[in-house]
Structure 1
Amino acid sequence: MNHFLAVFVFLCFIPTSQIQAQDVIWTTQSKNSSESMPVGGGDIGLNLWVEKGEVYLYLSRSGTFDENNTLLKLGRVKLKFSPNPFAGNTFKQELVWKDGYAQIRGSNIQIKVWVDVFTPVIHLDIKSKQKITTEASYESWRFEDRITKGKENNQNSYKWAPQGIIKTFKDDIAFKNNGIQFYHQNKPETVFDVAVKQQGLEDRKTNLFNPLKNLIFGGSMQGKNMIPSGNYAGTYLNTPFQGWKLKSKSPGLSEEITITLNTSKTEIPDWERELYAVNLNSNQKASIKWWNDYWNKSFIDISSKDERANQSSRNYQLFRYMLGCNAFGKYPTKFNGGLFTYDPQLTDSTLNYTPDFRNWGGGTHTAQNQRLVYWPMLKSGDFDLMKPQFDFYLNLLKNAEIRTEAAWGHKGASFTEQFENFGLPNPAEYGWKRPAGYNQGMEYNAWLEYEWDTVLEFCMMILETERYDHRNIDGYLPLIESSLTFFKEHYTYLAKQRGAKALDANGHLVFYPGSGAETYKMAYNSTSTIAGLKTVLERLIEHPSLPEGKKKEWAEMLQMIPPMNFRQFDGKTTISPAKVWERVNNTESPQLYPVYPWGIYGIGKSGLDTAVNTFKFDPDVLKFRSHVGWKQDNIFAARLGLTEDAAKLTTEKLKDSGRRFPAFWGPGFDWTPDHNWGGSGMIGLQEMLMQVDGKKIFLFPAWPKDWDVHFKLHAPYQTTVEVELKNGKIASLKVLPESRKADVKILIKQ
């Protein structure tokens, strides 16, 4: 297997930084798409590989949801050359991630693949030392309607409960303007209409936001010296496809191929006008500058005798590259593969489906997983990248409020744990076989019932962008306030259904039934809910532009939040996941959510011993511990200052994936490449290096002294901290603004 391993070279990174970039270099071709390399920019992701002398690219873009809410790929491109420059032993494929592009070299040929960060155009720049004939083909498996059966419906919103025959409808593909034009136009009837009817909201349908209606997405491919050259058919990994081919007018020394993409809610003539109006002559300099600025904004570079540590920092950077490819997406990066999924049978040999497949859906939002993709962006300073995730919730606010009012007659936005990109529960999770009279607002699902509180983490992220970067978040305040209102209104409503009193004997809300993540079900006063509400309310009250009347209202609600509960093991006091619960359904540890993300317990705070006891002695926490997928034990350990545990769990999480590209982890509990696996790894590494508490900045709270490191991370109040640690000593410390240096406390022993 040695010839499949990546070779890493050290190059000068960016003049303003000492960090060393480690470009990914492969010196042999790939077996198949699972050995592909991620390339992208703006909101476009490519899987790039060379197989049997031919160059392949999968095309993906944020927001390409079909009628069934599958996140469709935009096809596959194949490049073929005559004579074949890859017939000999000369081969090199390199991801130059500091500049955001990839290049492939063969005998006498160089192919540069890059995506314009600011314009939806993919560039394939080919240069040869001898005249060659180039064939550029567009391949599609959606050349005809395809019925999706069984587990294949896990790629859409019907999952295991399709109602009738489900089809992925064919695309329109044709030669046009000396190129190839391709698009998917959603049919008038979509899963939105099915869910609205299922959930009893047809009388309010015209008021609901529908992201799938009139949606068209696709693009065109053209070459400067290329003309249409016919069609062909084939099969790739059991999936039949048809191809449309462009060919050089005559052999030449260079070729420029561009693939322009367009996604729009409009009609075909307007979509085409938009597509062909895109400027194809963009200069790569602006995109390179964007990537250089991205890397200079923050980084973590470890140099250690411990190869696990070195892998962790390299893969941290590679995963952050993948996140940067959706910096300007209309939709957030999906936890279950992002823009870089590939043929599913290469992840699970039993799933012989098309490249459109990913487990856990395309337009379905699973909040517990998504949060881990976005939390690390605070310390990495990637505030712009967080906007698509925040806007996702904001765009669905009205739908969530309409749903609440229709089901229960009270105010507030009810965001379920797993919901669609139109704000309603996933239809399969909502349940088709529901008991007569079962409440309209409830999901009939053992894992998801009464789990409402993950939205609070996104509310907190929004509040934190104001604290970290002084962002104006006033436009998001209605989302935060409506999410809080739901808890007050709904649990008052439920209490009055049970009896005469809305509050308990101490004047507190009673959060029953509730849920501790997907794990502690039918919970009474779930700790994750209490910690989330308490923290978000405290932060909202501090918001400078909140009117005094509102501050008073939220301060009153804060007084109504009950205290957390505790239990003992071996005489040690630990945080309880709730006051009581009926069953354990999953393997999360929400009893440690007061540690992360809520920060109620941590370094320099009271009660730290109780939180450490929970990590060390709670039998469920011990039983559930793992580095796989969305597990966040590495983060808990770092937040608690448990250096040995944090180092072990974080390096396990961020070690090479076992696939050709080191950061293609998974499938874990979800899919490959597993983005909540990568995100939780990033968070753990950041928290080992730097933690914040108000204005306090703690450096190296859980850091092995023998790991040399140079890092730059962001802290609250528009602060950056850049540190070099060598041989256990601080070699340099740069804090901007300098006035914040007084707030820094170094915890590693000098």
Structure 2
Amino acid sequence: MKYFFLFFFFVIAFSVSAQQNYDIVWTSQSNNASASMPCGGGDIGMNVWVEKGDLFIYVARSGNFDENNALMKTGRIRMKLSPNPFTGTNFKQQLHLRQGYVAVQGENNGIKTEIKIWVDVFNPVAHIEVSSDKKINVETSYESWRYRDRVITNRENWGNSWKWGAPKNNVYKKDVIDYSGNAVLFYHHNSSETIFDAVVKQQGMESVKEQLYNPLKQLAFGGFFSGKNFIATGTDTGSYANTDFKAWKLKSKSAAKQHALQLALHNAQVNDIAEWKQSLDSLQQKVKADKTAFQKTQQWWKQFWSRSFIEIDPAKKELRSWEVGRNYQLFRYMLALNVKGAWPTKFNGGLLTVDPIYTDTINKGLTPDYRNWGGGLHTAQNQRLVYFPMIKAGDWDMLQPQLNFYLRLQKNAELRTKVYWNHAGACFTEQMENFGLPNFAEYGTKRPDYFDKGVEYNAWLEYEWDTVFEFCLMMLQEAEYTGKDISDKIPFIISCLQFFDEHYQLLAKQRGAKTFDGNGHLVLFPGSAAETFKMANNSVTTVAAMQTIIKQLLSTNLSAEQKQYVELLQKRVPPLSYQQFNAHTTIAPAKTWERINNVESPQLYPVFPWGIFGVGKPGLDIALNTWHYDTSVIKFRSHIGWKQDNIFAARLGLTEEAWRLTSLKLQNSERRFPAFWGPGFDWVPDHNWGGSGMIGLQEMLLQTDGQRMLLFPAWPKGKDVHFKLHAPMNTTVEAELKDGKLVKLIVLPEERKKDVEMMLK
């Protein structure tokens, strides 16, 4: 056994040491928060920067939802040293990528100082540690713009779940912030009534209100900012990026070479805030007693980086290709900041947003809590691009917050179906609150009385119910890749399928005497192919999803009753539809549709995510025709934001286009930190931009089809690459290509090497 562990740690050490040093190093200070550097871990994200000699840190934590369902910042930390080593010319700020922390160094007038900022991966605590070669004083403060009630501007309501439907003079209620001894205690405690109640009433769900999962009621979030040998020195006021704030200041009792501060955070739904305070105090005592937290966190980051990596042209840092490999790693690090999150990483900025004026200059006067498209609101087509890259990266722990999000909401989605249509199955909408109901504004604030209460009165979102299937696919792929028993998730997947089965039978019976079409298939009308092809009949996204989910589901361990139902449903799913462009057969977005409403290309969803067509699969010519000849596919092609044309190109073996689009996605952002892309269609940093870039790069290197593993199916000639990725059946593939030749191939377990097919062109 001891030899096994020695071998295990040798493999980890080798994999880590094989990677490039992708640390980000700045030798000058930043102009503002937009030029910040990400840091964090567990479920805490921080933006770190030094501006005019002061250290600043924005702190955010997964699950900080207020009454309006905005995702609120924890606050901002400011630190000033005296004498100040950051007022000289010798300055360095470094993201130690593999170790997961940020260090800021400065030297002035003979004083050398380093500040290390890191987060405990296993406990929600952020640490700020100051080390100096001479004694210095530290003055720090906890800054909050929520020290008072704030009437929310019309635009800022787009950062919560009211959007354009907010009541007049809607308010962000103030936090409770005060000194507790020589520390700062701060928290926000939601009232019993939140936007949840308004949504339930608006959508006619009062009859089952007490059965509905409600994550907002009396939610308390906040924490405790303290440091050994620090004392409270009073409050101050100021303004940053056009937003006023109040500061609660702490100062070191005396000058010293070492100083340490901690920010301990806690979230819980409690009737009595005293219960929340007691749990926060227990967390603090636990942290004080643990002297090995940094070592444990370092061990976690070490094993994280050993799981997988991609590095390109390692000896050619001047090339964009090297930049692309580096930025892939940087973005994967950003995703890892929420590995322990109770809630998924949001596509529209994750935990790393800053003052909105630095993202969109038209949004003046908005607070740092703002992000476009909501905080507790989740948009499935964007979220899936954040989470699909975790599969080939082997980041199964990071995937769980998104899967658990849906599992928690199953009952609410089934109650929704029961109330509106009195049949079974879970109905999930595309834009959905963290309690499983449609967004207040997107549901329709000016709905006709006659309109079906279960359907959003919305040109973009009506009848778009099939996006949940991509998360069902993630659940099935976790079993396929790891062998994990997903019997606890099977009822969820079947419930999602059952909704479509029973609902479209119901609609058919309302229209006429026959339940199925002439071939015994469901008539999936009205439906939607993404947000683009509306009022669709047999949408390609729905048909491809159901075909694929059912096929994979039948390969799992179903009960006899489950298997009988799924096999019956398989016979009811209609075939894909096709159309002609210049005498070329292409995949159609649906059998019929009434209008085009957005700029997506669902015609290629059977390529990704559903994998029906692709390299080495039947019908590749039809999928290629769709790419080359479908006029809307050509018109909508882009690398911006959530566009996934780079993934389509990789899956189709279109090497030149796959590289062009993926390298555009993963090139340096317009901001100081290379992976802070956006806003695109959403916000900064745009996580579905980075996620789609990651997926495209992975698919260029490794594609799978059952047991088959296609190596370099869309890799450009002349680019060196070294990667390690995951494949089904608990398999990892590490390969290195140098000067056009394969110089390393390690497949574990070794018996899977026979399933590798070399696709180099």
Moved more, 277-286 or 507-516: 277-286
TM-aligned CA deviation for residue 470 of structure 1: 1.2
Q: Structure 2, unaligned stretches of length 5 or more?
A: 1-11
State the distance in 2 between where 1:351 and 1:686 align.
36
Instruction: Tell me the equivalent position of 2:9.
Output: none
Post-superposition Cα deviations, 1:182-238, rounded to whole Å, max 9, x if no partner, equal 101001210000000001111211110000012000001111110000100000011
- State the identity %: 56
State the distance in 2 between where 1:492 and 1:176 align.
62
Q: Which amino acid aligns with 1:447?
A: W
Post-superposition Cα deviations, 1:156-185, rounded to whole Å, max 9, x if no partner, equal 000011133311100000010310011010
Post-superposition Cα deviations, 1:70-97, rounded to whole Å, max 9, x if no partner, equal 0000100000111111111010000001
Alignment of 1:720-731 (within 5 A): 720-731=732-743
TM-aligned CA deviation for residue 376 of structure 1: 0.7
Query: 1:587 and 2:599 equivalent?
Result: yes
Q: Structure 1, unaligned stretches of length 5 or more?
A: 1-12
Alignment of 1:204-215 (within 5 A): 204-215=208-219
TM-aligned CA deviation for residue 639 of structure 1: 0.1
Instruction: Tell me the equivalent position of 2:465.
Output: 452
Instruction: Tell me the equivalent position of 1:44.
Output: 44
TM (norm. structure 2) is 0.96
State the distance in 2 between where 1:510 and 1:714 align.
38
Query: 1:491 and 2:504 equivalent?
Result: yes
CA contact (8 A) 2:390 2:399 kept: yes
Instruction: Tell me the equivalent position of 2:307.
Output: 297
Instruction: Tell me the equivalent position of 2:275.
Output: 270
CA contact (8 A) 1:33 1:49 kept: yes
State the distance in 2 between where 1:522 and 1:642 align.
32
Instruction: Tell me the equivalent position of 1:63.
Output: 63
Query: 1:623 and 2:635 equivalent?
Result: yes
TM-aligned CA deviation for residue 268 of structure 1: 1.1
Query: 1:111 and 2:115 equivalent?
Result: yes
SS in structure 1 of the partner of residue 73 of structure 2: coil
Instruction: Tell me the equivalent position of 1:76.
Output: 76
Moved more, 511-520 or 269-278: 269-278
Q: Which amino acid aligns with 2:451?
A: Y
CA contact (8 A) 1:258 1:280 kept: no
SS in structure 2 of the partner of residue 631 of structure 1: coil
TM-aligned CA deviation for residue 151 of structure 1: 1.1
State the distance in 1 between where 2:269 and 2:181 align.
23
Q: 2:160 aligns with which of 143, 156, 164?
A: 156
Alignment of 1:88-487 (within 5 A): 88-107=88-107, 108-266=112-270, 267-278=272-283, 279-281=286-288, 282=290, 283=292, 284-303=294-313, 307-352=319-364, 353-487=366-500
State the distance in 2 between where 1:612 and 1:491 align.
32
Instruction: Tell me the equivalent position of 1:606.
Output: 618
Q: Which amino acid aligns with 1:48?
A: V
CA contact (8 A) 1:528 1:593 kept: yes
Alignment of 1:485-634 (within 5 A): 485-544=498-557, 546-634=558-646
State the distance in 2 between where 1:422 and 1:79 align.
38
State the distance in 2 between where 1:712 and 1:82 align.
47
TM-aligned CA deviation for residue 19 of structure 1: 1.4
SS in structure 2 of the partner of residue 58 of structure 1: strand
TM-aligned CA deviation for residue 14 of structure 1: 4.6
Alignment of 1:6-21 (within 5 A): 14-17=13-16, 18-21=18-21
TM-aligned CA deviation for residue 365 of structure 1: 0.8
CA contact (8 A) 1:217 1:263 kept: yes
State the distance in 2 between where 1:120 and 1:164 align.
36
State the distance in 1 between where 2:521 and 2:15 align.
54
Q: Which amino acid aligns with 2:19?
A: I
Q: Which amino acid aligns with 2:311?
A: D
Count of aligned positions: 736
State the distance in 1 between where 2:488 and 2:181 align.
43
TM-aligned CA deviation for residue 40 of structure 1: 0.5
Post-superposition Cα deviations, 1:621-651, rounded to whole Å, max 9, x if no partner, equal 0000000000000000000000000000000
CA contact (8 A) 1:698 1:747 kept: yes
Instruction: Tell me the equivalent position of 2:710.
Output: 698
Post-superposition Cα deviations, 1:525-551, rounded to whole Å, max 9, x if no partner, equal 11111000000011111112x112211
CA contact (8 A) 2:27 2:92 kept: yes
TM-aligned CA deviation for residue 15 of structure 1: 3.9
Q: Which amino acid aligns with 1:285?
A: Q
Query: 1:737 and 2:752 equivalent?
Result: no
Provide runs of 4+ in structure 1 moved above 4 Å: none
Instruction: Tell me the equivalent position of 1:7.
Output: none
State the distance in 1 between where 2:119 and 2:13 align.
20
TM (norm. structure 1) is 0.97
SS in structure 2 of the partner of residue 183 of structure 1: strand
State the distance in 1 between where 2:444 and 2:287 align.
47
CA contact (8 A) 2:181 2:232 kept: no
Moved more, 252-261 or 471-480: 471-480
State the distance in 2 between where 1:567 and 1:81 align.
68
State the distance in 2 between where 1:145 and 1:15 align.
54
Instruction: Tell me the equivalent position of 2:8.
Output: none
CA contact (8 A) 1:48 1:58 kept: yes
SS in structure 2 of the partner of residue 57 of structure 1: strand
Post-superposition Cα deviations, 1:19-43, rounded to whole Å, max 9, x if no partner, equal 1121000000000000000000000
TM-aligned CA deviation for residue 472 of structure 1: 2.0
Instruction: Tell me the equivalent position of 2:4.
Output: none
TM-aligned CA deviation for residue 611 of structure 1: 0.2
CA contact (8 A) 1:174 1:180 kept: yes
TM-aligned CA deviation for residue 272 of structure 1: 0.9
SS in structure 2 of the partner of residue 745 of structure 1: strand
Instruction: Tell me the equivalent position of 1:711.
Output: 723
